[in-house]
Structure 1
Amino acid sequence: MKKILTGLLALLLITQTAYAESPSESAAQPVQQEAQDKADIKTQKPVLKAASYDVTKIKLSWEMIPDADGYILYRKAEGAKNYQKIYTAESGESSSYIDTGRTCGRTYCYKLKAYQESTDGRIYSKASQVKKAHARPRKPVITSLFEKKERFAELELRWKPVSGASGYQIAVREIGTKKWYTKNTDIFTVYRSKDGYAHIGCSTDYAYEFKVRAYKVIRGKRIYSLYSAPYRYHETWTNAQLKQAIEERLVNEYGAELNDIYIDGEVKTPENSSWSTCWPMYLSKYASLEDAVDYIFDHQYTHFGLKDHCIKVWLHEEDPLYCGVSFLEG
């Protein structure tokens, strides 16, 4: 009986010891995890990116690090000795920053560190690789290209104006070739270039593509943006649509009578009558449909006395850009 009581007492002491040690083991776990996190953050190296955002701005962005509580961004001008802390971001905030007030054309160096809060204070990661960037004008975006009706063989290229730009440079090449031309040649001539558009003289018998870049003049030196994406003319009308538009203008505005039967040979041309054909122009697809029709009526047809004639609009079979209008006179 004494042995049984002694055994039970020993078991009770072991159980109490186990319960007494359990809380201390539980308390040790967060300490061990914190130590592990400290070791992890110290070995991490953030990935930083830097690029021009505007004529006086540079955009910085970075990839988030797991368990980081924040990030610190540093900057110095190229050639300077010391970095300055310019921005602190807490975890969960945006992973990018716009550095404003920069001098256009001057190069700046950036680096980034992540940090983690602990009971001993902040624990820092390794610094990212140094990234260099300089502020310059934004890349233009071309919006349209068409032929001016006031002067065919003169194209109008339009783009969104770039804030802070002093001017623009235009480059052109014939589609299918490699060389871009930026100065006036026998291929093209820039008549005038303003904020948002340029008038360019060139032969519209060939297909071209254009690109444009902005520049800012700093102490006599041009600081260029990147070139816009190349832009080709986009065909906005078909030959059938052109024919229909001319016929509608003749009927609705001039009261003309259109007669297909004479041209098709179904009915012979009346006696003492004859057909006169007006060859207005080669109609380039660079021109908008409305401008092409306006040009035809403004420069070619107004002197024919249209109300007194039967008219047939047709397109040249071999060269679909060649449009003809025949008038029955007599």
Structure 2
Amino acid sequence: MKKLITMVITLAMVLTMVVPAFADDTATDTNADTPVAPAPAELTKAQVKAITPKNVKAASSSYTKIKVTWNKIEGVDGYKVYRATSKGGKYSLVKTTTSANTLSYINTGRTTGKTYYYKVRGYKKIGKTTYYTKYSAVSSTYARPNKAVITKVTLGGSDKEGPYDRTPKTCWNAVSGATGYEVYRTLVGKNKWSKIYTTTKTYYTDKTKSFRTYYNYEYKVRAYRIVSGKKVYGLFSSSKEFEPEWTMEELMPELIAYGESIEGKRMQYNPVTDELEPYTGSEGSTYTMKYEDAKEAKKTPENSSWSAIFPEYISPYWSKAVVMKDLKECIKAEIESEMNANYLIWEPADEYSEAGWTGTDWFFLYYRKADGGLENRRGYHFYLMY
């Protein structure tokens, strides 16, 4: 019995001592706003040896530089970068970093066009011994000129030199170490690229024999460096096309106003002389065309109308001034020609018809293509109605 009582008392004493210890493990710092976070666990040597660095990538940084990047490994002291000239060759240490947060290395002094192989491993000093992670997978690349960047595509030449012969002028940045540049072209949206020119300059005005002024083209460029008689290419630039400083929608108001300003002579029929003579009625001796959208515009002397429809073709490589000059000349020539050939005539009433106006119902103006042919479906069609 005494032995049992002694065991109970001993157990009670143990519980009294243990409970405060458990309470201390969950206590918070009364002087802090948040609970005290436990310190991160240190990597063990077994854990270090089990790690494999991830996502190691080698990429050209210039014609003499290669950049190696990798993912961060928590808990290591740094990384070691190794290089070889063949995948299965001897790898030499080329860089040791001293921080787990350093995740890249630029290897300078590389030979342009020569392939190099890289691998990475992390390290951790535990006590007096340094332990290493496994090697990463191998990544390889070669140094080459940087990607060219097209800065703009403008009109080459000038209106004075040949306003109807101006073509796209593609400009790009100078690429360090480049021997020259190759220019490529395709029809917009076709993605069928052809090399059209090689140059040492940083611009090119498209003067190839295959160029057609009525097509829309886009361009891209790549730099190259000659090493041991061979070209080592940089990546292609993004493509870029020429964008005119005008659209037909923007030009239409001015063209309409111009067409409405052209005057024709009103004539009248004299049944006595059987001749046409200048109109002397109350509506005036001249008239102009009034623009309306609909082809079925009312055909009255008070509401004469003309419309211009522009479906597809005019050279996108003409300047705004050239486009306006050309179209106004066409509008003027065709409207005046129609007015002179088919007068707006006032005819008096007779036993067969009431008094009224007669004249041209409409006409088409087909805009000529660069090769001299008529653009009947894709061209700019002008309709004059009254």
Measured against the shorter chain, the TM-score band is 0.5 to 0.7
Equivalences for residues 136-147 of structure 1 within 5 A: 136-147=144-155
1:44 paired to 2:75: no
- Are residues 1:67 and 2:75 paired? yes
Q: Could you tell me which residue of structure 2 aligns to residue 293 of structure 1?
A: 321
Structure 2 counterpart SS, 1:42? helix
Please tell me whether the aligned partners of residues 157 and 166 of structure 2 are also in contact (alpha carbons under 8 angstroms): no
Q: Does structure 1 residue 118 correspond to structure 2 residue 131?
A: no
Q: Is the 8 A contact 1:60 1:96 kept in 2?
A: yes
- The answer (yes or no) to whether the contact 2:78–2:102 under 8 Å persists in 1 is no
Of the three residues 100, 106, 122, the one matched with 2:108 is 100
Q: Deviations over 1:94-153 (max 9, x none)?
A: 311211111111111111001222124222111011111110001111122233243524
Q: TM-score, normalised by structure 1?
A: 0.65
Q: Distance in 2 between matches of 1:145 and 1:245?
A: 27
Q: Any residues of structure 2 matched to 1:161-310 within 5 Å, and which?
A: 161-183=174-196, 190=197, 193-201=199-207, 202-242=211-251, 260-262=260-262, 267-268=286-287, 284-287=315-318, 291-293=319-321
What amino acid is aligned across from residue 214 of structure 1 in structure 2?
Answer: A
Which whole-Å CA distance do the structure 2 matches of 1:55 and 1:199 have between them? 27
Distance 2:236 2:320 in 1: 31
Shift of 1:180: 2.0
Change (3 A) 1:93 1:7: closer
Query: What is the CA–CA distance in structure 1 between the aligned matches of 2:226 and 2:150, rounded to whole Å?
Result: 22
Cα distance in 1 for partners of 2:263, 2:185 equals 43
Output the CA distance in 2 between the equivalents of 1:262 and 1:109.
76
Alignment of 1:129-168 (within 5 A): 129-150=137-158, 151=162, 152-168=165-181
Between the aligned partners of 1:196 and 1:236, the Cα distance in structure 2 is 23
| Paired position in structure 2 for 1:252 | none
Question: Relative contact order (C-alpha < 8 Å, sep 6+): which is higher?
Answer: 1
Q: Contact 2:79 / 2:100 at 8 angstroms: preserved in 1?
A: no
* Structure 1 unaligned blocks of 5 or more: 23-29, 184-189, 248-257, 270-281, 302-314, 325-330
After superposition, the Cα gap between the structure-2 partners of 1:263 and 1:46, relative to the gap in structure 1 and judged at 3 Å, is farther
Is the Cα–Cα contact under 8 Å of residues 73 and 100 in structure 2 kept in the other structure?
no
Any idea what SS the aligned residue of 1:39 has? helix
Residue 220 of structure 1 deviates from its aligned partner by 1.0
**Which TM-score applies when normalising by structure 2?**
0.56
CA–CA distance in 1 between the matches of 2:85 and 2:254?
61
> Which protein is richer in strand relative to its size?
1
Correspondence for 2:32: none
Maintained 8 Å contact 1:145/1:233: yes
Structure whose alpha-carbon radius of gyration is higher: 2
The percent of aligned pairs where both chains have the same amino acid is 33
What's 2:25 paired with? none
Shift in Å, 1:78? 3.2
The separation in 2 between residues aligned to 1:51 and 1:89, in whole angstroms, is: 19
> For 1:40, what is the secondary structure of its paired residue?
helix
| 1:56 maps to which of 64, 79, 86 | 64
Are the structure 2 counterparts of residues 322 and 153 from structure 1 closer, same or farther at C-alpha, using a change threshold of 3 Å?
farther
> d(CA) in 2 for partners of 1:91 and 1:284?
60
CA deviation digits over 1:200-237, x for unaligned, max 9?
Answer: 12112112222111000112111001111222233442
Structure 1 residue 198 displacement after superposition: 0.9
Higher helix share: 1
Amino acid at match of 2:186: R
SS of 1:90's partner is coil
Counterpart AA for 2:261: I
Give CA-to-partner distance per residue, 1:40-97, whole Å, 9 cap, x none.
2212211200111111111111111222221111112338943222222233533112
Query: Which sections of structure 2, spanning at least 5 residues, go unmatched?
Result: 23-37, 267-285, 289-312, 330-364, 368-375
